[in-house]
Structure 1
Amino acid sequence: MHHDPLPEETPTLDQAARQIRRYGLDADPQAVLVAVRLLAAGARLGQAVEAHFAGFGLSAGRYRLLAALEDADGEMTPSGLADVLGVTRATVTGLLAGLEREALVLRRPSAEDGRSAVVVLTARGARKMRELAPTHFGRLQEMVSALDPGERTVFLDLLGRVVRGIPALTAE
């Protein structure tokens, strides 16, 4: 699924200012514009990421789980995976079901505590990660190729600050 890039000027600063005035609010149109464009870019990025991983027979969630297992030397508990991925234990259970069906991971009793399970990256799972790595990392690099190293450093700082502001969307 190919999408054209978002037009940089959509919405415009004037549109944001008009909408704010329509509701009689005292909000900064530029701040609103940045947030709205970021939300639109995030939605487009989410769609593109899923299409990207679908080409490898994965979802973004399944890939992140396999990568977390690789980072942990191939073995983790389901609750450890949930913590690392920032998702619920139920979400991990769902991701594992599909990955187990494809023999990319397996669950086995823990050596330390036979009542609990550990998730293990199989040789097939490790091979899949190795096979997709050149394309995956090449595409990631290409996605940000319009930014020079200094701009990427600034972007990482700015992105971190915006991410710390995300809870404002769900504040009560």
Structure 2
Amino acid sequence: MTHPLRLLGSLAAVALLFCAPARAAVAGSPGECRRQHAEPRAYLDCLTALQVAGERDLQRSVEGVAATIEARADLQPSQRRRWIGLFEEAQGRFVHWRNFECQSIAPFEGEGPRQSIGGRLGGSGVIEQRLICLLSHNERRARDLESRYAPEGDWPPAPPAPAATAPGPADATAAAPPAQPTIAPRIIIAP
């Protein structure tokens, strides 16, 4: 038999759910995702959206670093190319380390190992730990790059994406798909 206070609490929660104002689809932190989305799928979707946004922020910082180095008039072109090449190598090593850390080690840090069967990890807790790991490492890396390289007032805004138009006969070679960047492979591909 259900206790009357428990039933009253459940009814109050349902009433608050229907009366609460609509919230943004994506929260600003993993903690807000958990508070805003009780269903596991909605929670993981929220974390995934944050992770995709974090990847964009990190990529913006990486591109900003290259632009900042390229703008250095006090260096010879060969010095700028060397610096950019070394930075790209360091970024690639960061991404490789981050991916290994978040794919292999982070799942053991949450509730997942307690829910394993036969030593194999699985379930939403493992995905949650991976996403939170990616979020935290990307945020720290982006902040570090910004503190070291960003000009006063932060990075310049990214230019707007060009409008999609149908290529004409003269534009056939320009319609080739862009090459994938080699400095930031992804664990999770954006939809």
TM-score (structure 1 length as normaliser): 0.30
Q: Which has the higher contact order (CA 8 A, sep 6+)?
A: 2
Larger radius of gyration: 2
* Structure richer in strand, relative to its length: 1
TM-score (structure 2 length as normaliser): 0.28
